[in-house]
Amino acid sequence: EKFDLKDVLLEVIDELEQKAEKRDVLIRFYYDKDKTFFTTADRDKIFRVSQNLISNAIKYNHDGGEVEVRLTSNKNQQVVEVKDNGKGIPPEDLKRIFERFYRVEKSRSREKGGTGLGLAIVKHILEAHKSKISVSSTVGKGSIFSFSLPAEKEKKKEEE
Ligand code: ATP
Ligand code: MG
């Protein structure tokens, strides 16, 4: 189905706002307000991907931290970036966080709750959309997760 990614991200952020406030984490959402960000994908599943990434960015942030969600588009793609300034992920863990049940620092993660499935689901959903998840992270500085989906023209007159 066709939808505007901006609307999905606004909904997810709205839903996670309380959780962020409890930790005194500020969520900023950057996108060009004059633009639309249409794509064709399974909306519920992309909602889930966004929810997992943004909820991780809150959960693994420090109190008073910030989460930046950035939506941009290039010629063919809508690009979503979720950036946090939390503790970051060591390089040796980075390649394993997409495995089911894999968690960095087991005890610490357990304290925070969850099952260690979020990113495995993210990866699975994006692969089913012929897309993928990218991550870059620096210990002590934070992480950036990103994915892209095909850009769709706003109007498809010939289909109406
Ligand atoms: P669930 O998502 O099922 O509630 P979870 O958050 O532990 O549990 P994942 O979302 O799959 O599971 O993440 C796997 C692990 O990767 C986490 O336990 C955490 O150690 C690490 N991780 C994920 N996102 C971040 C992040 N933004 N910053 C630092 N570490 C992260
Ligand atoms: Mg998670």
pLDDT along the chain (160 residues), means of 10: 98 98 97 97 98 97 97 96 96 95 78 86 98 97 98 68
The pTM for the full model equals 0.94
Closest atom of ligand 1 to CA, residue 119: 11
Query: Six-digit token pair at 112?
Result: 């925070």
Measured CA to CA in angstroms, residue 105 lies from 54, 79, 96, 114 at distances of: 20, 30, 12, 13
Would you state the pLDDT for residue 106?
Answer: 74
Question: CB under 6 Å to ligand 1: residues?
Answer: 52, 56-57, 60, 84, 86-87, 89, 97, 102-104, 109, 114-120, 143
CA 131 to centroid of ligand 1, rounded, Å: 20
Q: Is the ipTM of this complex over 0.85?
A: yes
Classify the phi-psi angles of 128: left when phi > 0, otherwise alpha if psi is within -120 to 50, otherwise beta: alpha
Query: Six-digit token pair at 159?
Result: 């289909």
Give dist(CA 31, CA 14) in Å, integer. Answer: 16
From start to end of 33-105, where are the E strands? 38-40, 66-73, 77-84
